[in-house]
Amino acid sequence: MTKTALLTLGRLPKSLDIARALSSQGWRVIIAEPAKWHLSRVSNSVSKCIPVTAPNDDQAQYVADLLSIIEHEKVELVVPISEEALHATLIEDALPENVRLFSMPHQQVRLLHDKMRFIELADSYGLSVPETHLLGTDAADLLASTHDYIIKPVCTCSGQGLELCMRGTPLPPTQSRAPSVVQRQLYGAHKSTFSIAHSGRVIGSVIYRATVLSGTVAVAFEHLADQSTIESWIETFVEKSNHSGFISFDFIEDDAGTPMAIECNPRVTSGVHFVQPQDLATAITDPEQIDGLTLKPNTGMKQFYPCLTETQVAAFRGNGFSAKLKVMLRDSDVNFSWRDPLPLWLMPFTAWGIMKRSFLKGESFGEASTFDIAWYE
């Protein structure tokens, strides 16, 4: 009998990757998505797309919508994908016994998403993190007076609310903004990760760097090999936190070349595009039976349309045009498949809502695609 999996988002390329992976292994894939039209809706790997209330419009109704789908579609596996995971994991206590949620409990996901609590947790494990303090504390004032620093909300995504400040720049009053952290600014190489874990064991990790950015969100990426120091950091964190599910980190190297974890994303990130579909599906559906992830031969991949937009903008502004054009011409697209061509071909139509919001409000694609699902405290 065919098993049914529910993905709690369909608008992003990483949703499409997971839908294709599960479908290729015989799963019936259903997607719950607030947007009527989205990238995965036209994929032949998706059996059904069901509209749900946007969690930032009515969280309680969103949770109720998910539970209704699980009941009526006889779902056996729920896979949170991106920023909506903070809301989607609230279903855990109401799930039938035969339904598995591929995630840590909500409170653990929420802890890792919190920019301050994550730093404190990693530091307690003896792992390298930059000096970070809550805005409004004496320690934050001292840091701002002695080092260049950044300010970012405790709960944010896609670089929203991020400010880069020079040493000595006065900190804003706490009442003028959401709860925020003040973090020492590092100037080394920026590297991102994507891992799948099970019961404190890392099944596999992908280390990559952005080659084209839309705001602070990568829309083209390069796989980085031989990153043993970062891999060891991840393995320690996963083991000590006994993590299961997806987990991702952003690192910046300090002056000595030591990778420092600046934040955690307890969700899928763009590194998933480098993982072979069969291993991705097995790691989600039967994690005890897999040890390691086989990666695709591609060293560089891109999201075609946002990458094209950034390249066109660079042509007029003279901001790295040749490098971005090289990425456009060289790297494979994350969405394209000869067996499933419509998601790429119809993306100008299915992603029109995101593109329209980006253009009209001056937001990056990352901001425009998460405004109704991101978790804010």
Mark whether 172 and 90 lie in a shared domain: no
CB 119 within 8 A of CB 132: yes
| Other beta carbons less than 10 A from residue 1's beta carbon | 4
d(CA 21, CA 79): 12
Mark whether 22 and 102 lie in a shared domain: yes
* Mean predicted confidence (pLDDT) in 89-106: 96
Mark whether 96 and 179 lie in a shared domain: no
- Domain harbouring 91, CATH code: 3.40.50.720
Would you place residue 140 in the very low, low, confident or very high pLDDT band (cuts 50, 70, 90)?
very high
141 part of a folded domain: yes
* Mean predicted confidence (pLDDT) in 152-156: 89
The domain boundary residue, chosen from 150, 184, 218? 184
Mark whether 98 and 142 lie in a shared domain: no
DSSP string, 69-91: HHHHTT--EEE--STTHHHHGGG
Mark whether 161 and 96 lie in a shared domain: no
3-state SS class at 272: helix
126 part of a folded domain: no
Mark whether 14 and 64 lie in a shared domain: yes
165 part of a folded domain: yes
Would you place residue 215 in the very low, low, confident or very high pLDDT band (cuts 50, 70, 90)?
confident
DSSP state of 275: B
Mark whether 26 and 90 lie in a shared domain: yes
Q: In this predicted structure, what is the pLDDT of residue 360?
A: 87
Mark whether 31 and 75 lie in a shared domain: yes
Mark whether 145 and 75 lie in a shared domain: no
pLDDT digits (tens, 9 = 90+) for 232-278: 999 999 999 999 999 999 999 888 889 999 999 999 999 999 999 99
* Full domain range(s) for residue 176: 131-184
18 part of a folded domain: yes
Tokens of 87: 């809301």
Mark whether 99 and 141 lie in a shared domain: no
- What is the value of pTM for the model shown? 0.94
